[in-house]
Amino acid sequence: MEHRYRQLGFATVAAAWAVFWLVGTAASDRADYQDVYVQWAITVAILGGPSVIAAGLLWPAWWPRAAARLPAGLARLDGPARLLAVTAAALPAGRRDWGTAMTAELAQVRDRSARWWFAAGCARAALVMARHRRPRRTTPGSGCVTSTGAWWTTRSLARP
């Protein structure tokens, strides 16, 4: 299952990149526009590449632990319950009881669209929770890396 998700992730990134490239080259018929587009694409690749690589490296460490927390009958659940189960499994240890609370509430919601809205809202809440739990030192750290990358790329591209 892990292998399948990883393949799916890489295929999504590759497909998005291919579409981005094709749309860009098709939309820009003049050679100078194409140069600018290529420079821009390289910048995006340089800045976005490390995030994709980091996600690829972190995924094998994170996914087995999160998957172990998924309920046994996940396949038998409907879409909203499955979304909420994955959301609850992904929550940090100190917030997992809130995931259980949301799951218990969803069991009370009968209307299908209301279930989807509730599960989507809970997924958003989980994102907010995960963001608030992140240690503060990562924010300046990632900011420094991004700023240095942007500065280096701009400087390289600006050089004649």
Helix (H) or strand (E) holding 94: none
Which of residues 15 and 133 has its CB atom nearest to another protein in the complex?
133
Q: How far is the CB of 121 from another protein (least distance, A)?
A: 3
| Residues in region 32-91 near another protein by CB under 8 A | none
Residue 117 interacting with another protein (CB under 8 A)? yes
Q: Which of residues 92-111 bind another protein (CB under 8 A)?
A: 95, 97-98, 100-105, 107-109
How far are the Cα atoms of 39, 45, 62, 74, 105 from residue 99, in angstroms, in the given order?
44, 36, 18, 15, 10
39 vs 82: CA distance, rounded Å: 42
Comparison of 72 and 104: residue with beta carbon closer to another protein: 104
SS3 147: helix
Q: Residue 99: which of 110, 87, 109, 108 has the closest Cα?
A: 87
List the Cα angle 12/18/21 in 5-degree steps.
140
100: tokens are 């259980």
As measured in angstroms, the least distance from the Cβ of 78 to another protein is 15
Smallest distance, Å, CB 111 to another protein? 12
Nearer to another protein, 46 or 129 (CB): 129
Residues of this chain that interact with another protein (CB under 8 A) are: 95, 97-98, 100-105, 107-109, 117-118, 120-125, 128-129
